[in-house]
């Protein structure tokens, strides 16, 4: 009798666990949304980008199976703070994460990350590839130590590349037998299993790179047609085009998908992974949430030959950029342009940069199709429901717009992406729907948590800044604007976008690196107008964001209104500035608490 009762209890527990769907959360990196034919068709009626040919059959198929949110925006156009905001469900200005700070969970204001909350709901959480949230384990002399947010994790950098599984990557170079860093080395994995390595550069005081290293580098660059951003005053070694030395499926992202598939295929048993380690497959008796983080199409932009050859002869339209447009840049944005300038490239180099970028995106499409199929098969095999949330790019990427090839700016090509959501339960997520509501990437957290059975409507989850995407599908909630902030290369800048206007402003003074947390936090609201460096685009007349009208007398009052609205939100409604070198040192600013109400209410007399 006791054995029968125990069996019944175990069965009841299993049924309860499997009422919660498996979740696949896909995030690509530096992914322009116009690399997706489904997005282009939904927004312009044409299948190709305005620049030219793109290919995305697998992602297009996925979008047809669910809802495509075409007006989705990152809350920071930089990898670290964007991913940090997604996994925490909080804006950068509310989690104190503005660039590549080594954040941790010691301060009082920090809340559990999404996988930590899911684990309490009975989920196994796993991460494959790039998570890049910059949340580390706290300790004196803090370093990049994994805090263990996931039950299972395979990192492209720490697990694969350190075992020489990759394609073309840079890493720190040390004096042999020591931890003394002398510079950066580049490694090239070839199909025969060999790894070619050479010094890329040396730190100041360490001498010059040898002639032998320079010769090896030149040989590799010629063999794989490597295009670097030589015209930039920033990172001139950055690879923005070329052929991947490894074939399709064997690149770093291909290996990440292979690891993911091995994990699912070997459920409830031990297996040997791609770098020879014994690992335990997924526990099929528990729901699983997998964060699948692709490195592509982030630099180095190196599509494998199979895909690159399809794009090499395509002719692309290079975005127009003029001195007149550059003249509208504020000092902060002009500095950004100077560091990321693409305009000095030759026409041939510009074509290669665009061809190889879109080819890399097409390769990513193939890998995503493979991963999605494996995930669906696993769920079907175990009679489990599933939810797929695909965030198209942790942010965007410029290919000549605003004169740059990069991200980091407040413009749409830096900040806009898309979200695709698919469920095995079509009553929850209908098929073939295009949604035009404004979406923020922080919306992913409450959507995933709600799907897992977390009661996000309870007050203990009030820290979540996003909207449950199911509420947008059901038309029970919406927003009039999106907000974001960054602090990379040129200092703090915040942005607010509506469907009609794009506004941004400088939020902290030039000495931001020496700021005491939240000291003089109202600076951007009280400083002389020119120091706030306001930028305003009327998207109805200027969809390409080429004419800043903030100083135009017809728009001055409107720009001032946006300055107050955005300033109150990011500076006075829960702004956190934290000294991450300390365990618990921060300040929260609430002088305008409640100003982030998701409503605009612009006085009609201010709109020209």
Confirm whether 3 is domain-assigned: no
Supply 564's token pair. 């107050």
Judgement on whether residues 560 and 447 belong to the same structural domain of the protein? no
Of 143-157, 357-371, 436-450, 584-598, the poorest mean pLDDT is in: 143-157
Confidence class of residue 175 from pLDDT cuts 50, 70 and 90? Answer: confident
Confirm whether 2 is domain-assigned: no
Judgement on whether residues 194 and 175 belong to the same structural domain of the protein? yes
* Burial class, 574, CB count within 10 angstroms (exposed 0-12 / middle 13-18 / buried 19+): buried
Judgement on whether residues 261 and 236 belong to the same structural domain of the protein? no
Q: Residue 454 phi/psi, 5° resolution?
A: -75, 130
Sorted by sequence, the CB contacts under 8 Å of residue 190 that are 6+ apart come out as 196, 245, 246
Judgement on whether residues 466 and 503 belong to the same structural domain of the protein? no
Judgement on whether residues 453 and 402 belong to the same structural domain of the protein? yes
Confirm whether 17 is domain-assigned: no
Query: Is 116:124 a contact under the CB 8 Å cutoff?
Result: no
For the chain, the first-to-last Cα distance in angstroms comes to 80
In this predicted structure, the answer to whether residue 512 has a pLDDT above a threshold of 70 is no
314-349 residue pLDDT tens: 999 999 999 999 999 999 999 999 999 998 899 999
- Domain count across the chain: 3
Closest by CA position to 420, among listed 455, 390, 448: 390
Judgement on whether residues 150 and 254 belong to the same structural domain of the protein? yes
Write down the pLDDT at residue 231: 60
Write down the pLDDT at residue 234: 63
| H/E run at residue 195 | strand 195-202
Residue in the block written with tokens 């399709």? 248
Average pLDDT, the chain: 94
User: CA 175, CA 199: separation in Å to the nearest integer?
Assistant: 12
Q: Of 243, 262, 282, which closes a domain?
A: 243
* Burial class, 109, CB count within 10 angstroms (exposed 0-12 / middle 13-18 / buried 19+): middle
Distances (CA, A) of 155 to 131, 214, 595: 8, 30, 39
133-143 residue pLDDT tens: 999 999 877 77
Confirm whether 12 is domain-assigned: no
Write down the pLDDT at residue 284: 97
Residues listed for the chain = 608
Confirm whether 302 is domain-assigned: yes
User: CA 28, CA 51: separation in Å to the nearest integer?
Assistant: 21
Of 24-38, 43-57, 134-148, 413-427, the poorest mean pLDDT is in: 134-148
In this predicted structure, the answer to whether residue 14 has a pLDDT above a threshold of 60 is no
545-594 residue pLDDT tens: 999 999 999 999 999 999 999 999 999 999 999 999 999 999 999 999 99
Judgement on whether residues 233 and 267 belong to the same structural domain of the protein? no
Residue 218 sits in which domain range? 168-243
| Cα angle, residue 283 at apex, residues 281 and 289 outer, rounded to 5° | 95
State the average pLDDT over residues 184-199.
95
* Burial class, 362, CB count within 10 angstroms (exposed 0-12 / middle 13-18 / buried 19+): buried
Judgement on whether residues 445 and 353 belong to the same structural domain of the protein? yes
Confirm whether 598 is domain-assigned: yes
Write down the pLDDT at residue 6: 43
Q: What is the CATH number of the domain that holds 69?
A: 3.40.720.10
Supply 145's token pair. 């130590």
**Partners of 153 in the β-ladder:** 127
In this predicted structure, the answer to whether residue 502 has a pLDDT above a threshold of 90 is yes
Write down the pLDDT at residue 37: 98
Write down the pLDDT at residue 11: 37
Judgement on whether residues 114 and 142 belong to the same structural domain of the protein? yes
Confirm whether 575 is domain-assigned: yes
In this predicted structure, the answer to whether residue 511 has a pLDDT above a threshold of 80 is no
Write down the pLDDT at residue 13: 36
Confirm whether 565 is domain-assigned: yes
Q: Of 210, 243, 276, which closes a domain?
A: 243
Write down the pLDDT at residue 232: 57
User: CA 248, CA 79: separation in Å to the nearest integer?
Assistant: 25
Supply 584's token pair. 């618990």
In this predicted structure, the answer to whether residue 256 has a pLDDT above a threshold of 50 is yes
Helix (H, G, I), strand (E, B) or coil at 580: coil
516-544 residue pLDDT tens: 888 899 999 999 999 999 999 999 999 99
Confidence class of residue 282 from pLDDT cuts 50, 70 and 90? Answer: very high
Q: Of 243, 262, 279, which closes a domain?
A: 243
Write down the pLDDT at residue 478: 96
Judgement on whether residues 370 and 411 belong to the same structural domain of the protein? yes
DSSP 438: E
- Inter-axis angle of helices 347-381 and 252-265, nearest 10: 0
| H/E run at residue 217 | helix 211-223
Judgement on whether residues 190 and 287 belong to the same structural domain of the protein? no
Write down the pLDDT at residue 233: 56
User: CA 97, CA 337: separation in Å to the nearest integer?
Assistant: 24
Judgement on whether residues 225 and 201 belong to the same structural domain of the protein? yes
């Amino acid at each position: 009798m006791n054995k029968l009762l125990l069996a019944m209890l175990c069965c009841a527990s299993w049924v309860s666990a499997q009422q919660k769907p498996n979740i696949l959360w896909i995030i690509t990196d530096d992914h322009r949304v116009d690399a997706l034919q489904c997005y282009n068709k939904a927004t312009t009626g044409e299948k190709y980008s305005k620049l030219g040919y793109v290919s995305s059959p697998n992602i297009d198929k996925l979008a047809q199976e669910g809802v495509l949110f075409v007006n989705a925006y990152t809350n920071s156009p930089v990898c670290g703070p964007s991913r940090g905001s997604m996994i925490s469900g909080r804006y950068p200005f509310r989690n104190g994460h503005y660039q590549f700070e080594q954040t941790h969970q010691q301060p009082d204001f920090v809340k559990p990350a999404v996988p930590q909350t899911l684990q309490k709901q009975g989920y196994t959480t796993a991460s494959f590839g790039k998570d890049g949230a910059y949340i580390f384990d706290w300790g004196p002399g803090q370093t990049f130590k994994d805090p263990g947010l996931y039950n299972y994790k395979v990192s492209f950098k720490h697990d694969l590349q350190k075992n020489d599984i990759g394609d073309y990557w840079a890493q720190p170079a040390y004096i042999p037998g020591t931890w003394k860093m002398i510079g950066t080395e580049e490694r090239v994995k070839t199909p025969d299993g060999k790894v070619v390595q050479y010094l890329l550069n040396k730190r100041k005081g360490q001498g010059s790179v040898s002639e032998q290293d320079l010769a090896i580098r030149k040989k590799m660059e010629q063999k794989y047609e490597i295009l670097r951003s030589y015209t930039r005053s920033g990172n001139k070694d950055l690879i923005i085009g070329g052929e991947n030395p490894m074939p399709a499926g064997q690149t770093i992202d291909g290996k990440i998908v292979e690891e993911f598939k091995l994990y699912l295929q070997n459920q409830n048993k031990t297996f040997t992974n791609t770098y020879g380690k014994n690992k335990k497959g997924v526990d099929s008796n528990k729901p699983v949430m997998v964060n699948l983080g692709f490195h592509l199409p982030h630099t180095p932009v190196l599509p494998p030959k199979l895909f690159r050859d399809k794009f090499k002869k395509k002719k692309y339209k290079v975005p127009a950029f003029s001195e007149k447009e550059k003249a509208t840049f504020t000092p902060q944005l002009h500095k950004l342009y100077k560091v990321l300038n693409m305009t000095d490239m030759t026409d041939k180099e510009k074509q290669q940069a665009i061809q190889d970028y879109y080819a890399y995106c097409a390769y990513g499409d193939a890998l995503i199709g493979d991963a999605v199929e494996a995930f669906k098969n696993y769920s079907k095999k175990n009679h489990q429901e599933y939810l797929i949330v695909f965030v198209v790019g942790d942010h965007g990427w410029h290919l000549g717009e605003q004169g740059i090839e990069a991200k980091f700016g407040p413009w749409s090509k830096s900040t806009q992406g898309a979200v695709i959501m698919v469920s095995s339960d079509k009553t929850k997520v209908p098929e073939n729907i295009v949604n035009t509501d404004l979406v923020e990437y922080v919306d992913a957290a409450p959507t995933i948590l709600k799907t897992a059975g977390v009661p996000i409507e309870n007050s203990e989850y009030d820290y979540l800044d996003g909207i449950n995407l199911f509420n947008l599908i059901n038309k029970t909630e919406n927003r009039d604007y999106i907000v974001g902030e960054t602090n990379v290369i040129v200092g703090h800048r915040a942005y607010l976008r509506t469907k009609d206007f794009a506004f941004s402003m400088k939020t902290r003074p030039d000495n931001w690196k020496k700021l005491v947390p939240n000291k003089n936090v109202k600076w951007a609201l009280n400083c002389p107008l020119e120091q706030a460096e306001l930028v305003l685009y009327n998207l109805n007349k200027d969809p390409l964001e080429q004419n800043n009208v903030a100083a135009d007398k017809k728009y001055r009052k409107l720009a001032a209104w946006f300055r107050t609205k955005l300033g109150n939100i990011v500076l006075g409604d829960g702004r956190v500035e934290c000294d991450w070198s300390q365990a618990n040192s921060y300040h929260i600013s609430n002088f305008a608490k409640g100003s982030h109400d998701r409503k605009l209410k612009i006085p009609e007399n201010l709109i020209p």
